[in-house]
Structures are given as C-alpha cells and as structure tokens.
Amino acid sequence: MKNHRRFFVEGSCIDGEIANITGDLVTQIRRVLRLNTGDWIKLLDGCGTEYEAQIVSCSDDCVQAKIASSRQCDTEPTFKLTVAMSLAKADKIEMVAQKCTELGMSELAVFLSERSVPRLNESKLANRLARWRRIASEAAEQSGRGLIPEIQGLLQFRELISTVPQYGLPLLAWEGRDAQPLRNVLGKHSEVDSAIVIVGPEGGFTPGEVAQAVEAGAIAVSLGKTTLRCETAAIAACAILMYEYGDTA
C-alpha cells in the first residue's frame, strides 16, 4: 500500500467512511492517472491526517472512495521554517515553492523590497499566488508531506520585518562584509523550534533595509564566498536549516 497515489483534499469531502472527491482532482484521477473502481489511493486533509481509501465509484464530476483506515502523518518536522523571498521573476518563485516544500518548509512569504524588479497588479498577483500554492500542493503530494506549506504575499518589507521577533532564529541572507558565516551562527543556536530566512532580490538589500532587519532582531548571515542567485540562496538556506534542525530523518 505504500505506493498508492496521494491527493490533498478538502476535509469537508470526507464524511465518515466515504470521501466524495470533486473538482480538478476528478480529471487527474480518472483521465491522467487512469485510476478506476477498486484502485487504492491515499487522501490527505491538509491538517496532518492521511486516509487509506478504495475507489468505489467514478463519474465525470465525482470520484467516491471508501475510507479503510486513517493515521497521523509522521513525515512533518516539529521545526517550523519560513522562507521569505523578495518578489522575483515568476519561475524563480515557482522553483523555491517547489524545492523548499520538498525540503520541509512550513511557509513561503513573498515580499516587496526596494530593489524588487517585477511589479504585479491585483489580478496578476492573485493568479501568481494560486499557481504558487498549486505548485506547493503538488510538491507536498510528491514528496510525502502531510501538510501543504502556506504561501502568503505580497508583503511590504516593513510588514515582514515586524514578524521577526516571533521566530526562534531570524536570519537575513546578506552578502555584506559584516555578515556572520551561517555555520558560526548555527553553532551558537543548538536548540531552535522555528526560524525565518529572509532572501533579497537579484540586486540585494539596500543598506537601509539591512539596518531595519537587524534592528528588528534579524541576524545578517553569509551563505559563502560566492554570490548566489536569489532562488539558489533560498533553497540552499532551507536545506541547511532543515538538515540542522529538522527531525524527519
């Protein structure tokens, strides 16, 4: 049963021993994956519960499955990591949403900084958010996650910085000479239950933004001697922090 296809569904679709699956998932289950009556699947409610279910009927607008068992997912780390990334080209945010979800990120926060190049109107932003959330959902399904990371945006830089005090380890990825090596900072924080890593745009943070972040409590850290692309920095920092503090292994 370990190889059953996994699908995130709304908790409201599960009624006792029956799950009524509707919407785009019907097309994915029936036409893309060609699953049918008798096939076994796994359903996830997005709150950490996983259900083993067998398809009992199919129609063009509904797939009905009978719940055989349920359990709490054991793939979610207790360590909570927020990756905050300055608005960049769409494909860069998409890559971060996908790869950081696979690595165990809890939340992706997209924000505007002074050197952010793209500018989105409300309709474009709504479409982008929907796409980023869909990518995170698909990555969570593929990687065996029990939860889908939250995707929020578009935040202003000051709004983002105001959340810094709520994290056990707030980090600002910065290439400046005064930044501390990330390895040194991690060595001073052995027990951390939450963290945020803030990654700037292609042009980097302005001195004023760095000062604001540090004043709010963020620690300016260096990820190495080479200059990384913004999406590379976000994914690398996520991998390092999940390795250091995650407990999924």
Q: Where do runs of H (alpha helix) occur along 2-89?
A: 24-27
> Which one is the CATH code of 5-72: 2.40.240.20, 3.90.1150.10, 3.40.50.1370, 3.40.50.300?
2.40.240.20
Q: Which amino acid is at 114?
A: E
C-alpha 78/C-alpha 72 separation (Å) is 14
C-alpha 234/C-alpha 96 separation (Å) is 7
| Model confidence pLDDT, tens digit, residues 130-181 | 999 999 999 998 888 888 999 998 999 999 999 999 999 999 999 888 899 9
- Which run of H or E residues covers position 125? helix 122-143
Q: Do strands 219-222 and 180-181 pair parallel, antiparallel, or not at all (unpaired)?
A: parallel
| Model confidence pLDDT, tens digit, residues 65-114 | 999 988 888 778 889 999 999 998 878 999 999 999 999 999 999 999 99
**What's the first-to-final CA gap in the chain, in angstroms?**
21
Q: Give the predicted TM-score (pTM) of the model.
A: 0.84
CA distances from 207 to 115, 214, 246 (A): 11, 11, 32
What CATH fold (topology level) applies to the domain 80-245?
Alpha/beta knot (3.40.1280)
pLDDT of residue 30: 87
Q: Where are the domains of the chain?
A: 5-72, 80-245
